[in-house]
């Protein structure tokens, strides 16, 4: 029998995998993919709690986040392409223009 | 105002004609042909002469007490309230002309002699450059001189006075490429400044004493609305007869006389006139013999009312005049430049005029002024004609024997010489005799005037001597003319000789106005001038002349004629009969001769006393300027500014900027640790976010425990 905690642990695992991906990977495209993992961890969380509390609003939120993730991926890829055109690289450690 | 004819009503035209042509000449004269220049300029002076003659004739038609015509063209200096000795007065100066017997004589002499000299100049200046410039200046001079003699107030007279001074300066320096000529012009101008200072102060003193500078209010209609010096003076003396000889009158008279000594070349300001001979000869004749230099005499005669109330000033005038007369005559004895002799002669004759004014014989002074204008203009023009004939030779030692080579010049010259020497019945005899007679008449009343008479008499002898010396050296004896000049000797053109003849005629008849004086009566000339020259003197203090008996009159005449003949005889013996004798005489008194040749060293003394001292002062000022103003002032302030800006720069750099930099550096130093977090790498930011999240989660972990327990 799957208890809510299982879902939460799955979600936590996905979140950690995504977070570690965001922090450690140099390729920005992979970082974007890791963000997708994090968003999906959130979705799982939302759906799980929706079941736990018997409230359907959580699932509606999950649908919004899927749409949001699509939009975010489109914007993110656009930025990456624009950046590539300027610097001919997609490596995160070469994107350091925001520092002092 | 009496009804007047055309010429009186158009009095203002007299000075205007020459002014117009002067303006034409000086503006566009360069473009005009010579014939146009001469006809315009001579024509305008002729028109002035005609108008002057007409105006004088119309004036003569009036009854003698009424012969004052005033014409105010416009208010020149508009009324302004001024505190004066007679209370607050409204000071006003007109541009107005006054024709009375005195200015009538002057205006006729100026336009008449002026016209003849203009005609003469056509011939004399015919070959000179700057023909239009010469005539432009000459016309400007005529305008100024006519303004001077026709002015109805002292300030306008002063305008004319300065105008003739300017023209004198311009014409003396006419050959301005010659250094001596331009120097002479400057000398004349500067020496005259000294006198003019006195004149101007005198005018100021008159304005503050009488509250007006108009000569007279007669002829102006309403005597209340217009005030005049004569009327103000009359009122003052009438109120308080003890004012006779008051210091203020003496001061005014002496200040004005200082102006007269400058313009009329009297001691001690005469030094410019001999140098003024650098100008063209017609200029010497017109300005420096006949007209301008007599302006001082005219002015003193014009102000006779003041002088008559200042007996001390009268004595000064008479003494200066007599001293100048004999002083200049002695210098003229030995000069070798024909024009220099005539220049010193002019100074001497002007001295005579002042002697006459000083003893109170104003009419005699003006009379001599007129006759002198005739014969001295003739002498200068004759000398100019000789110089012209000899291609510019002025040295008497290089002349001689010209009597028959230039007859049209030599005959009039002889007449002028006789006239100035005082031979009867020529003009100079009457006027000189009149002056000496008046001086003697005063001497009979007051002993101290006897010396003046004796000086005057001796001067008459000296005059005859140096004039005949000049005549003999120039026209008689053997020719000493240099060969090249000899070759070119020619009689002067008609334009030059005809004026000579007219002036010769005037030199003969010019004195006949005074014929009645021969019989001890008032001459018609004196009667004519009497209304102007009677002054406002109280009856008790009036100048008295001893009434000469017929015998005294003949004695005086005999004295002056015989001393003139003595002078003639001496000159005849020394220069004509025994031509070598005069050098022996001068060799016998080498020191005296040297002193006279060097004109008593007055120029040298003035140089040492004044000119060089002023130059020293200028040098000192220049040094002060260079060392103190430039050195200390300008350079010093620049140095100080540089020093201050250096300090300021140091302060700015190290203190002001240092403070700013310190704030920046300090902030940078403080921000250093914080800056370390901002790597610009988003992965590191993400890591910090996660670390923050972990910390938050750790902090709220006990809530988590509750949550997890509930979930179970």
| Per-residue pLDDT reduced to its tens digit, B565-591 | 999 999 898 888 887 888 888 888 888
Number of other residues whose CB lies within 10 A of the CB of residue B508: 18
In order of B8, B264, B302, the CA distances from B1 in angstroms are 11, 34, 21
Are A98 and B675 an interchain contact pair (Cβ–Cβ within 8 Å)? no
Q: What is the DSSP letter of B76?
A: E
Q: How confident is the model at residue B712 (pLDDT cuts 50, 70, 90)?
A: low
Distance (Å, whole) CA B409 – CA B402: 9
pLDDT at B660: 94
Q: Using alpha carbons, select from B379, B320, B376 the residue that is nearest to residue B368.
A: B376
Residue-wise over B421-458: b if at least 16 C-beta within 10 A, else e? bbbeebbbbbbbbbbbbbbbbbbbeeeebeebbbbbbb
Report the Cα B520 to chain-centroid distance in Å.
Answer: 37
Give the C-alpha separation, A8 to B56, whole Å: 142
What average pLDDT does range B676-704 have in this prediction?
A: 85
A19 and B690 in contact by Cβ < 8 A? Answer: yes
CA nearest to A5 within chain B: B711
Shortest distance, CA A96 to any CA of chain B (angstroms):
4
How far is it, in rounded angstroms, from Cα B151 to Cα B160?
Answer: 8
Q: Is the pLDDT of residue B546 over 80?
A: no
If one counts every other C-beta atom within 10 angstroms of the C-beta of residue B497, the result is: 21
**Residues in chain B closer than 8 A to A49 (CB atoms):** none
More confident residue, B20 or B550: B20
pLDDT, tens digit (0-9, with 9 covering 90-100), for B72-88: 888 888 878 888 777 78
Most A CBs within 10 Å, among B668, B677, B686, to test the A interface? B686
What mean pLDDT is predicted for residues A5-19? 90
Average pLDDT over residues B117-134: 89
Question: Cβ of A93 and B683 within 8 Å?
Answer: yes
Does residue B1 carry a pLDDT above 50? no
| B454, pLDDT greater than 80 | yes
Question: Is A23 within 8 Å of B712 when comparing Cβ atoms?
Answer: no
Chain A residues with beta carbon closer than 8 angstroms to that of B682: 92, 95, 98
DSSP3 helix / strand / coil % (chain A, rounded to 5): 80, 0, 15
CA distance B251 to B313: 8
The Cα of B644 is separated from the nearest Cα of chain A by a number of Å equal to 42
Phi, psi angle pair for B213, to nearest 5°:
-120, 5
Tell me if B536 sits within 8 A of B233, measured CB to CB: yes
The per-residue pLDDT of chain B, averaged, comes to 88
In 3D space, the residue among B285, B461, B273, B467 whose CA is nearest the CA of residue B373 turns out to be B285
Q: Which residue has the higher pLDDT, A90 or B226?
A: A90
- The answer, yes or no, to whether residue B3 has pLDDT greater than 60, is no
Do residue A4 and residue B711 have CB atoms under 8 angstroms apart? yes
- Measured between CA atoms, how close is B679 to chain A, in angstroms? 5
Which of B675, B686, B708 comes nearest A23 by C-beta? B686
Which of A3, A92, A100 minimises the CB distance to B682?
Answer: A92
Query: Is B679 close to A3, i.e. CB distance below 8 A?
Result: no
Specify the 3-state DSSP secondary structure of B10. Answer: coil
Question: What is the average per-residue pLDDT within B100-110?
Answer: 93
Q: Give bridge partners of residue B94 from the DSSP assignment.
A: B75
> Measured between beta carbons, which residues in chain B are less than 8 angstroms from residue A4?
711
State the smallest CA–CA distance between residue B669 and chain A in angstroms: 14
pLDDT of amino acid B516: 61
Dmax (CA) for chain B in angstroms is 175
Structural element, H or E, at residue B88? strand B87-99
* Tally of helices (H runs) and strands (E runs) in chain B: 31, 2
Q: Which helix (H) or strand (E) holds B98?
A: strand B87-99
Q: Is B510 helix (H, G, I), strand (E, B) or coil?
A: coil
Handedness of CA A66, A72, A74, A80 (dihedral sign): negative
Yes or no, beta carbons of B680 and A97 under 8 Å apart: yes
Mean pLDDT of B116-121: 94
**pLDDT at residue A33 tops 90:** yes
Contacts of B670 in chain A (CB under 8 A): none
- Tell me what pLDDT residue B552 has: 80
In angstroms and rounded to an integer, the radius of gyration of the C-alpha atoms of chain A is: 17
Between A29-43, B166-180, B387-401, the lowest mean confidence (pLDDT) is in B387-401
pLDDT of residue B528: 84
Q: Which letter does DSSP use for residue B43 in this model?
A: H
pLDDT at residue B674 is higher than 90: no
Cβ within 8 Å, pair B681-A3: no
How far is B650 from chain A, CA to nearest CA, in Å? Answer: 33
Task: Indicate the DSSP class of residue B64.
Answer: G
CA B680 from chain center: how many Å? 97
Contact A3/B at CB under 8 A: yes
User: B225 pLDDT band (50/70/90 cuts)?
Assistant: low
Tokens of A38: 């994090």
Query: What's the pLDDT score for residue B597?
Result: 83
Spatial contact of B141 and B164, defined as CB atoms under 8 Å apart: yes
pLDDT beyond 50 at B309: yes
Average pLDDT over chain A, rounded to an integer: 88
Neighbours of B583 (CB within 10 A): 11
Do residues A10 and A2 touch, judged by C-beta distance below 8 A?
no
DSSP string over B533-582: HSTT--GGG--------HHHHHHHHHHHHHHHHHHHHHHIIIIIISTTHH
Nearest Cα residue in chain B from A94: B681
Q: Any idea which residue has 């000296």 for tokens?
A: B462
Tens digit of pLDDT for each residue in B493-525?
Answer: 888 889 999 999 999 988 887 776 666 566 778
For residue B186, what are its two tokens? Answer: 């400057």
Is residue B22 within 8 Å of B143, Cβ to Cβ?
Answer: yes
Residue contact B680–A23, C-beta within 8 A: no
Q: How far apart are CA B104 and CA B111, in angstroms?
A: 11
Range with top average pLDDT, B103-112, B418-427, B677-686: B103-112
- How far is B566 from B578, CA to CA, in rounded Å? 16
Q: B605, exposed or middle or buried, with CB in 10 Å at 0-12, 13-18, 19+?
A: exposed
Cα–Cα separations (whole angstroms), residue A18 to A77, A96, B452, B673, B686: 18, 22, 141, 30, 11
List the 653-712 stretch of B: residues with Cβ below 8 A of A. 675, 678-684, 686-687, 690, 708, 711-712
Q: What phi and psi, each to the nearest 5 degrees, are found at residue B703?
A: -65, -40
DSSP secondary structure string, B184-249? Answer: HHHHHHHHHHHHHHHHHHHHHHHHHHHS--BS--TTSS-TTTS--HHHHHHHHHHH-GGGTT-HHH
Residues 6+ apart with CB under 8 A from A73: A32, A36
Q: Which of residues 43-62 of B touch A (CB under 8 A)?
A: none
Q: What is the pLDDT of residue B519?
A: 61
Mean pLDDT across the stretch B240-249? 85
Cβ contact B159:B77 at 8 Å: no
Query: Is there a contact between A95 and B680 if contact means CB atoms under 8 Å apart?
Result: yes
Closest to B466 measured CA to CA, from B320, B284, B344: B344
pLDDT digits (tens, 9 = 90+) for B199-222: 999 999 998 888 888 888 887 766
On chain B, the residues whose CB falls within 8 A of the CB of A22 are 683, 686
Q: In chain A, positions 58-87, which contact chain B (CB-CB < 8 Å)? A: none
Q: How many other C-beta atoms can be found within 10 angstroms of the C-beta atom of residue B200?
A: 19
Of chain B, the percentage scoring pLDDT greater than 90 comes to 50
pLDDT for position B111: 95
Q: Which residue has the tokens 């060392």?
A: B627
Say yes or no for a CB contact (<8 Å) between B681 and A97: no
Chain B contact for A99 (CB, 8 A cutoff): yes
Tell me which of A1, A16, A19 to substitute to probe the interface with B (most B C-beta atoms closer than 10 Å).
Answer: A19
Whole-angstrom distance, CA of residue B37 vs CA of residue B25: 7
Q: How large is the average pLDDT for residues B594-602?
A: 86
Residues above pLDDT 90, as percent of chain A? 55
On whether any CB of chain B is under 8 Å from the CB of A10, the answer is no
Q: Does residue A89 sit in helix, strand or coil?
A: coil
- CB hemisphere CA count around A47 (13 angstroms): 15
Residue A96 has pLDDT above 50, yes or no: yes
Cβ(A44)–Cβ(A10) below 8 Å:
yes
pTM: 0.78
Q: Tell me which residue in B680, B683, B711 faces A23 most closely, judged by beta carbons.
A: B683
Q: Decide if pLDDT at B174 tops 70.
A: yes
What span, in angstroms and rounded, lies between the C-alpha atoms of B15 and B147? Answer: 6
> Assign residue B278 a region: left if phi > 0, alpha if psi is -120 to 50, beta otherwise?
alpha
Angle between helices B131-150 and B101-124 (to 10 degrees): 170
- Judged by CB atoms closer than 8 Å, whether chains meet at A22 and B675 is answered as no
pLDDT tens readout for residues B626-656: 999 998 889 999 999 999 999 999 999 999 9
Pick the residue with more confidence: A96 or B129? Answer: B129
CB spacing of A22 vs B686 below 8 angstroms: yes
Measured between CA atoms, the residue of chain A closest to residue B683 is A23
CB contact at 8 A, B301 and B366: yes
As for the ipTM of the complex, it is 0.82
Element (H, E) at B6: helix B6-9
Contacts of A5 in chain B (CB under 8 A): 708, 711-712
């Amino acid at each position: 029998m799957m208890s809510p905690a299982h879902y939460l642990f799955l979600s936590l695992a996905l979140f950690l995998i995504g977070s570690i991906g965001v922090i450690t990977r140099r390729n920005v495209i992979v970082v974007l993919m890791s963000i997708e993992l994090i968003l999906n961890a959130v979705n799982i969380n939302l759906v799980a709690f929706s079941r736990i509390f018997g409230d359907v609003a959580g699932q509606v939120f999950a649908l919004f986040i899927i749409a949001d993730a699509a939009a975010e991926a489109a914007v993110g890829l656009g930025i990456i392409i624009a950046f590539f055109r300027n610097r001919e690289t997609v490596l995160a450690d070469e994107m350091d223009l925001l520092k002092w | 105002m009496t009804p007047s004819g055309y010429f009186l009503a158009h009095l203002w035209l007299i000075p205007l004609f020459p002014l117009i042509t002067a303006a034409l000449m000086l503006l566009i004269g360069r473009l005009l042909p010579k014939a146009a220049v001469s006809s315009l300029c001579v024509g305008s002076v002729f028109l002035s002469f005609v108008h002057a003659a007409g105006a004088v004739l119309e004036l003569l038609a009036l009854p003698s007490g009424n012969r004052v015509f005033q014409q105010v063209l416009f208010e020149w200096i508009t009324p302004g309230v001024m505190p004066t000795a007679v209370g607050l007065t409204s000071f006003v100066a007109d541009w107005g002309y006054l024709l009375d017997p005195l200015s009538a004589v002057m205006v006729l002499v100026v336009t008449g002699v002026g016209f003849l000299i203009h005609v003469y100049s056509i011939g004399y200046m015919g070959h000179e450059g700057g023909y239009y410039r010469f005539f432009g200046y000459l016309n400007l001079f005529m305008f100024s001189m006519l303004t001077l003699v026709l002015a109805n107030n002292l300030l306008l007279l002063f305008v004319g006075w300065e105008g003739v001074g300017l023209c004198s300066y311009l014409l003396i320096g006419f050959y301005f490429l010659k250094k001596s000529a331009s120097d002479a012009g400057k000398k004349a101008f500067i020496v005259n400044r000294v006198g003019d200072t006195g004149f101007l102060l005198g005018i100021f003193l008159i304005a503050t004493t009488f509250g007006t500078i108009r000569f007279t209010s007669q002829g102006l209609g309403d005597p209340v609305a217009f005030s005049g010096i004569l009327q103000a003076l009359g009122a003052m003396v009438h109120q308080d007869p003890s004012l006779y000889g008051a210091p203020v009158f003496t001061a005014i008279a002496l200040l004005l006389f200082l102006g007269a000594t400058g313009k009329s070349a009297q001691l001690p300001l005469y030094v410019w006139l001999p140098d003024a001979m650098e100008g063209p000869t017609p200029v010497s004749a017109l300005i420096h013999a006949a007209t301008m230099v007599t302006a001082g005499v005219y002015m003193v005669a014009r102000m006779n009312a003041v002088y008559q109330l200042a007996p001390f000033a009268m004595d000064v005038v008479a003494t200066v005049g007599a001293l100048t007369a004999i002083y200049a005559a002695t210098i003229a004895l030995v000069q070798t430049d024909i024009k220099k002799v005539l220049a010193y002669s002019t100074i001497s004759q002007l001295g005579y005029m002042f002697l006459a004014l000083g003893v109170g014989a104003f009419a005699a002074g003006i009379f001599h002024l007129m006759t002198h204008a005739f014969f001295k203009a003739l002498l200068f023009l004759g000398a100019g004609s000789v110089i012209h004939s000899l291609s510019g030779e002025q040295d008497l030692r290089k002349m001689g024997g010209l009597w028959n080579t230039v007859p049209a010049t030599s005959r009039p010259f002889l007449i002028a010489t006789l006239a100035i020497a005082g031979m009867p019945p020529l003009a100079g005899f009457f006027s000189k005799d009149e002056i000496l007679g008046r001086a003697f008449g005063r001497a009979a009343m007051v002993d101290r005037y006897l010396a003046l008479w004796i000086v005057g008499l001796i001067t008459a002898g000296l005059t005859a001597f140096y004039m005949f010396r000049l005549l003999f050296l120039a026209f008689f004896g053997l020719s000493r003319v240099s060969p090249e000049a000899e070759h070119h000797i020619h009689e002067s053109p008609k334009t030059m000789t005809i004026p000579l003849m007219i002036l010769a005629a005037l030199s003969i008849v010019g004195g006949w106005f005074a014929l009645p004086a021969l019989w001890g009566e008032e001459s018609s000339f004196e009667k004519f001038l009497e209304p102007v020259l009677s002054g406002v003197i109280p009856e008790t203090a009036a100048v008295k002349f001893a009434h000469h008996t017929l015998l005294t009159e003949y004695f005086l005449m005999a004295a002056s004629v015989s001393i003139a003949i003595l002078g003639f005889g001496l000159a005849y013996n020394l220069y004509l009969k025994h031509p070598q004798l005069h050098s022996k005489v001068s060799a016998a008194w080498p020191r005296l001769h040297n002193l006279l040749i060097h004109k008593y060293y007055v120029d040298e003394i003035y140089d040492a006393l004044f000119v060089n001292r002023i130059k020293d002062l200028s040098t000192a000022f220049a040094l002060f300027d260079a060392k103190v103003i430039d050195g200390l002032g300008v350079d010093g302030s620049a140095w100080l500014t540089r020093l201050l800006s250096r300090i300021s720069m140091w302060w700015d750099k190290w203190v002001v900027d240092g403070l700013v930099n310190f704030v920046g550096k300090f902030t940078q130093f403080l921000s250093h640790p914080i800056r370390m977090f901002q790597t610009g790498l988003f992965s590191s930011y993400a890591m910090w976010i996660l670390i923050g999240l972990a910390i938050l989660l750790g902090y709220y972990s006990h809530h988590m425990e509750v949550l997890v327990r509930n979930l179970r």
